[in-house]
Structure 1
Amino acid sequence: MEYKGVGFILAFCSGLMNAWTFYHAQTFATVQSGNVVQIGYRLAQADWTPFWYSVGAVLAFGLGSAACGFVMTDNLKAGHRFTSAILWCECVLLTVIGILSVLKIVDYPIFALIISFIAGAQGNAFHKDHGMLYGNVAVTFVVQMAFNFLAQSFFKKDGIHNESNLMWAGVFFLVLFGFALGGAIGAFLDMNVFDNLSLFTASAAFMGLAISATRSRTDADPAPGATFV
């Protein structure tokens, strides 16, 4: 889960999930800074229904992170991997939401809360590139680090782990590209091809990662501990 390509795929899936929730429920699935701003904005407008949607998204994201923390801790104490279990849960939940949404069984805002829960779990479980912290569900930090390493590359060739600063800049720019690409493709699919196809696309990507992690001969979990610099 610390491979560069995996970071891109996770960010791509985040973009897909955000495209769905923003289009159907006017909330963000992963970008909680956006939801917090919406809370204040809608509070000032006394627009109560969207206000509670945004509050619910933030709480759901936090609960997803907490639940993931419990799962990770419990599995690590037992000497088990947690990556495959979390990826399969993401895959199954998004597939179920997509099917129910197509059938119009539950309102979109409820599904948006569940997707925020999924995003919270993803963000807590997978947030490193060979030991270096990054974000695949919220990208403010990614933007900061991408341009920081780009600037550092003009002064010093090697940076973290004696690896090229330009390479590190590329890692973070790749994550940004994945996030934006997921949002663009997700919006296009849902609006022009087949509604909810963004969720099925993200589910398929999680399935591929889960299968790869399950079949891996080495430990697929992110290494414990991390560094910012």
Structure 2
Amino acid sequence: MQQNQSILKKPTNELQFPFFDRPLLATIIAMATGSMDGFTYITAGQFATVLSGNVIIFSYGIGINDPKKWLHPLFSILVFGCGAALTAIFTHFANKSRKTHYWSHWVICAEIILLLLCGSNTLQNYLETWQIALIISFIAGMQGNAFHQLENYHYGNVAITNLVQSTFNYLFLGLLESRSNLRTCRLYLQVLTGFAIGGFFGAYSAKHFLLGRHTLWFTAALLFCLLIGSYLSKKRHPNEQIND
């Protein structure tokens, strides 16, 4: 929150918050997350980002003594944590070197490359569906730890429970207290809707369309649009802060 306050004090020729904190782009990131979750749920029976769901599946697998039921979600939880750790490494060395503010771009580039590989036929002959889902969980961990600011508010693009909670919290604060809270409610609802749209497309296209595993290329395309958008925005606003 201190970072956001310092940004607001900068000269007026700079934007008020980092590029990836904008509501529309936060919604696109949530769409990418939702499409990954919908895809892994349909194809592998586990979630890429909803870790509470994976914990339930893990516990259920333990209860019925089915190793496949509990090993797969357990691995998913662990690799999600590894993805988050990799983002932490990116941020650590970026802050330590003080030479670049574009570590978030490296995260997106890594996501795009991995998604293109997972959506290709190249890996299909070597990896099972649940193993592809593990790679997607790794990607989700990177993304979740990289982008978590929505203007001056904190949100989780992989923590959907938090989005629902915040949406209803600010809805009733807006009705009972200040009307300005209704705008905050709308911001959270917009991101939540983006996740739902992405989840629908990821699940439906993986099951009903001929896209199948190529559905992941749609997710990669969304993230690529973010890269192009940040590049164009940087040219238009040279003083804009890009890091998240």
Alignment of 1:1-229 (within 5 A): 1-79=20-98, 80=100, 81-100=102-121, 103-157=124-178, 164-193=180-209, 194-215=211-232, 216=234, 217=238, 218-222=240-244
For the 8 Å contact 2:117–2:123, the answer to whether it is kept is: no
Report the equivalent of 1:227.
none
- 1:183 CA drift (Å): 1.0
Query: TM-score, normalised to structure 1's length?
Result: 0.90
The number of residue pairs the alignment matches comes to: 217
Q: Deviation string for 1:18-40 (max 9, x for gaps)?
A: 11111111110001111011111
Q: Secondary structure at the match of 1:99?
A: coil
Q: Which runs of 5+ in 1 are unaligned?
A: 159-163, 223-229
Contact 2:120/2:214, CA 8 A, preserved across alignment: no
- Spell out structure 1 runs of 4+ moving beyond 4 A: none
Question: Contact between 1:15 and 1:180, CA under 8 Å: does it hold in 2?
Answer: yes
Letter in 2 for 1:22: Y
Partner Cα separation in structure 2 for residue 61 and residue 202 of structure 1? 18
| TM-score (structure 2 length as normaliser) | 0.85
Change (3 A) 1:175 1:219: same
CA 1:206–1:171 in 2, change beyond 3 Å: closer, same or farther? Answer: same
Which secondary structure state, in structure 2, belongs to the residue aligned with residue 135 of structure 1? coil
Q: Which structure 2 residue ranges, 5 or more long, are not aligned?
A: 1-19
